[in-house]
Structure formats: structure tokens, C-alpha cells
Amino acid sequence: IPDSDSTTTVVVKIERPTYNKPFLGGFKNMRTGVEFHNAGSQTRCKKRPYKGTQSFCRETQTAWEKNKPQQTRNTTSTQMTKIGLYVSNMTDKLISPGKYFTAEEYHKRRLEAVIVLQKYFRRWHAINVVQNLREQRKLRLAWEAQEELRKKKEKEEKLRREYERKLNPRTKEDFELLYHDLELWMQEETERINRTLTGAERKAALCALLDQEAQLIACFERHKLNANEENQHKAILHLLDKCAQPKRWKAYDGKITEMDTQDTLRARELLEIYRSISVKDIPKDERTDVLLTLRCTVKEHECKLTQEIVELIDREVDLLSRDVKECNLEGLRKRICTLFLRYIKIPKVNPRVAWLLKVPQDPLKLYKNVYFCHSCENYLPSTEFLIPANSHTIGRCRLCYELDNEARRRESYLKYRLILENLKKSETDYQDDSKIVFLIQLPDLQYMIENIWNCQSALSAWVELYDLVMVRWDKQREWSPWNAILLTKEEADAHLKLCNLQEAYEAAFIFRIKQKHIRAKNYFAQIPAMSSFLNRSDNQANAS
């Protein structure tokens, strides 16, 4: 109260702002440097609801525009012919009104013109389509002719290779083919004799046939002895050549680095000496030099074997000095080669050979994985036994199986062996840790092809086993006897490109394939090693 001397205390509540007030301007005292800001009200501003996005405001200025057309004046004049003035009419045009047509007639004319354009466009498009189809047909026929020619050449090449293999057999598969053809010939001749002859004539013909069979078998065995000798010589040279190979490793830049050590140089020296003493029909002086070099080499290690080699070398040198014929020295030279090969296989003489010998140098290792063959009564390593997946005992070794096959059944397993090799190679290319395919042996695959797939393609019923391959039924799962299908090579390539088997094949065909898979499961379920794979494949099928 201004007129009263009394004072009154008024309590003023000041609300401290919870936010920063905006700057509203102000001024600054230039003398004292104090800044004064314009004050604002203490009323809390109403907050706008947050919309989830950041927005900015700015002032805009809109200019109002208005367009108005305006016709300007254009003064023109015309001049006509009159008295005293002539205007030429040579460039004048005579315009006469045409036929009037309605809007309906106008649209009808446009429609007819559109139809004409469509007709010519469709004709042009049809010509292009037919031309493309003709080109595709031409390319298809050319491809089919090329494929037919390729198949014909492959078949001729295959027959030529088979004929060459039968004419000059070198491997076990070649002799299998020979004995198989001999069995087929014997069956045909026996059937012909039984059909055409009777009584004593039949017996005489059968005896003559038996003599021919014996002569052919003797001829086969002579070829087998020559082939074994040649293959043994090649195997020896291959072993010594591997010993003489330098050490190789790949650098970070991809270059191959080779290094010769004392062991590789020693192996190479022994290889050259062995090749020299194995050469036939060389002059007497060169032969003597080779024998003297061999004598100096083996004398570096004194033992009973080297003493025997030195005695044989001295004997041959003495016989050469007496001008003995070379045909009488073949046995002596073979003994020298054989003893020198034994000398090369001693690890102390040739350290590199210790890594390549099949028989371990430690006698204790011989007791591991060694089994007894009840047929030939020999103790052999496990790799020499052909053990089917459903076998519970070891049985006979590979050599006994081959001998029994040559004497009785005379079957050729080359086709099944090729199918198994192609299967293992294709499964290796998947790189998905497939294991079952490497447990399958040749008798197991033969049983599957003959009894489950009937030796024919599941799609085209093609019966030539050389053209058939075994592939996965479902390529997303690893191969197994219950996830397999037998097809030709072209059908297998097309099958592996499919993404959905249910859409690609009919339900009846899928049902037949499933039935074959069930038969394979029932056959391999009795094998303990396959039970874990059966459960795993069932889990994969349920998951897919």
C-alpha cells in the first residue's frame, strides 16, 4: 500500500523451468560488458505430440500468378480485280466441300485401319516366330545328329578298345573279359551240339569242344605269364622312379619348388644302374663297364647279399671273356637283377624306399590287420580281402575269388567296377562328407544292379551297363542304397538338374522308386555298420 508505512510480505512462487527457454534477443552494455536478455513469460508452452519423425518449420512465401490470354490486333486487307487493276488468279485454288461423314463413320474407318495394321503386324510376327522355330528345329536336328555321331564313335571306340584288350591282354580286367567271352562261346557251342547232334556224335563233339577249351585256357595262361612279367617290370621301374623324385612343395605365389636331397640322389643313381643292367642286346664292352660299376656300388655295404652279387658279377665277366652266347647268360643276368633289386629295397642302402614298401619294416606292425585265407592258407593284409557289406566272416582273398571265377562262373565285373568308380568320383565332387558309398563293395553294387534295378535304366529301360550310372535320387541328401537311382548318363545329367522331384515325375514312377529303396533298406538293414546310417537318413528325410 503506497500511502501506508506498514509493509506486507507476499510470497511469490517461482517455477524453475525444466527446459531451456528460447533466446528472444537482448543487448549488451559496451562499458561493463553485461548482457541483458529479453524476458519471456513463465507460462509453460504446450508441447506438441511426438509423431515419431523429426519435422522442421520454415516460412514460405507464395507468389500468386494469373495467366490471361489476350488477342492482339492484326490489320489485314484484300484486294480484288477492278477497273484499272488486274490481279492474277494463276495461283488460286478451287476448294470444294467433300463428302460429309458422321462420327460413327469416322470411328468405323479408324477401326478398319487398326484391323489392317494388326493383320500386317500379326503376319510379320508369325513369320518371325515360324522362322525362329525353324532355326531351333534346325539346330536341334544338327545337335541330335552330332550326338548320334558322337555315340556311334564312342561305341566304335569302346568296341575297338575291347577288341584291343582281348587281343593283347595286360591287366586282370582284360583276362576277365577273355574268360567271360570263352564262357559265352562254350555255352553257345554246347547248346548247338545238344540241339543238332545225338548219341556218339554228340559225345565226340563235346570232347572236341573240351579240347578246344583246354587249348584256349593254356593260351590265356601263357599270355598271362608274359603280361605279369611285363607288369612286374613296370611296377619295379615305377617304384624306383618314385624313390628318385625330388621333394616338391608349393610356394605362396603358386610356383612349385623342387629340391634334391642325398637320399633322392642316391635313389636316382641306383635307378640308373638298375636300368643299365636290365637292358638287353648291348655290346660286350658296355656290359662289362656296367657290371664293374654295379660291383663298386654294392661293395659299399658288406653283407651276405652283396657278396653273392659280387660272385655273380665275376662269373658273368668271366663268361663274357670266354665269348659265351648271350642266350646262355639270361638266367645269370636275371639272378643279378633280382638280387640287386633286393639290395635296392634295403632302407639302409636306399632310405627313400622305406616310405614306399608295402611290408612294414617293424615286425610288430605285421600283426595288425592281418587275416588268414582258408582257401590258399596264406596270411594276408586286410586290403587283399574282398569283404561284402553283409559278410560276417573274412572268407577268401581276392586271388582266390579271381581263380574261382576263372574256373567256374567266368563273370566279368568290369562294368560294375566302372559304375562303382564313377559313383565314388561323383560323390567326392559333392564334398559333403559322404561315407556310405565308400563302404559299398563290388558284390554289394552287383546285387543292387541285378536284383533291385534289374540291370536297366529306371526311366528308359536301357540295358547296356556301359552307358548306365548310379546317382542320387534326392541330391540334397548323401548317396545311399536307399537314395539311389540307375539311369543313363544323359538321363542322370537331366535328373540332377531337377529342383522338385514331385513335380517332375509321375506319382506311379515315384512309387516304384520308393519300393526299390525299401528293398535296398531291407537288404542292408541286417548289416550292423549300416544301422547308424539308416537312422540318420530317416531323420534327414523327416526334416526335409
The pTM of this model reads 0.64
Q: Is residue 26 part of a domain?
A: no
Q: Is residue 71 part of a domain?
A: no
Whether residues 195 and 147 fall in one domain: no
Measured distance CA(458)–CA(229) in Å, rounded: 44
Q: Is residue 382 part of a domain?
A: no
Whether residues 150 and 178 fall in one domain: no
Report the number of secondary-structure helices (H) and strands (E) in the chain: 14, 8
The radius of gyration computed from the CA coordinates of the chain, to the nearest angstrom, equals 50
Whether residues 420 and 509 fall in one domain: yes
Whether residues 352 and 416 fall in one domain: no
- At 1 the pLDDT is 47
Number of compact structural domains in the chain: 4
DSSP string, 144-202: HHHHHHHHHHHHHHHHHHHHHHHHS--SHHHHHHHHHHHHHHHHHHHHHHHHH--HHHH
**Could you tell me the residue range of the domain that residue 288 belongs to?**
257-357
The answer to whether the beta carbons of residues 176 and 412 sit under 8 Å apart is yes
What amino acid occupies position 327? C
Measured distance CA(136)–CA(129) in Å, rounded: 10
Whether residues 488 and 526 fall in one domain: yes
Whether residues 267 and 329 fall in one domain: yes
Q: Is residue 527 part of a domain?
A: yes
Whether residues 161 and 180 fall in one domain: no
The neighbour count for residue 445, using CB atoms within 10 Å, is 22
DSSP 8-state symbol, 392? S
Whether residues 501 and 418 fall in one domain: yes
- At 26 the pLDDT is 82
417-424 — which CB contacts under 8 Å span 24+ positions? 417/173, 417/442, 418/466, 419/445, 419/449, 419/465, 419/468, 419/469, 419/470, 420/445, 422/469, 422/470, 423/469, 423/470, 423/471, 423/479
Whether residues 423 and 533 fall in one domain: yes
DSSP string, 276-322: HHH--S--HHHHHHHHHHHHHHHTTS-SHHHHHHHHHHHHHHHHHHT
Q: Is residue 262 part of a domain?
A: yes
Q: Is residue 346 part of a domain?
A: yes
Question: What SS3 class is residue 489?
Answer: helix
Measured distance CA(339)–CA(334) in Å, rounded: 9
Q: Is residue 5 part of a domain?
A: no
- At 535 the pLDDT is 63
Measured distance CA(217)–CA(5) in Å, rounded: 152
Q: Is residue 473 part of a domain?
A: yes
Whether residues 475 and 531 fall in one domain: yes
Of the three residues 167, 184, 200, the one that is the final residue of a domain is 167
Kindly report, residue by residue over 100-157, the tens digit of the pLDDT.
889 999 999 999 999 999 999 999 999 999 999 999 999 999 999 999 999 899 889 9
Whether residues 327 and 437 fall in one domain: no
- Each residue's pLDDT expressed in tens, for the chain with a length of 544 residues: 455 567 788 888 777 766 666 777 788 888 888 888 877 655 556 677 777 777 766 555 566 777 887 777 777 777 778 888 888 888 888 888 888 889 999 999 999 999 999 999 999 999 999 999 999 999 999 999 999 999 899 889 988 988 888 888 888 888 888 898 999 999 999 999 999 988 899 999 999 999 999 999 999 999 999 999 888 889 888 988 988 888 888 888 888 888 888 888 988 999 999 998 888 888 888 888 988 998 998 888 888 888 999 999 999 888 888 888 888 888 898 999 999 999 998 888 888 888 887 765 566 666 667 888 888 888 888 778 876 655 667 778 888 888 888 888 888 888 888 899 999 998 888 888 788 888 888 888 888 999 999 989 999 888 888 889 999 998 888 888 888 999 998 899 999 998 888 888 999 999 999 999 999 888 887 776 676 677 666 555 555 5
Whether residues 269 and 299 fall in one domain: yes
Of the three residues 294, 329, 357, the one that is the final residue of a domain is 357
- At 98 the pLDDT is 84
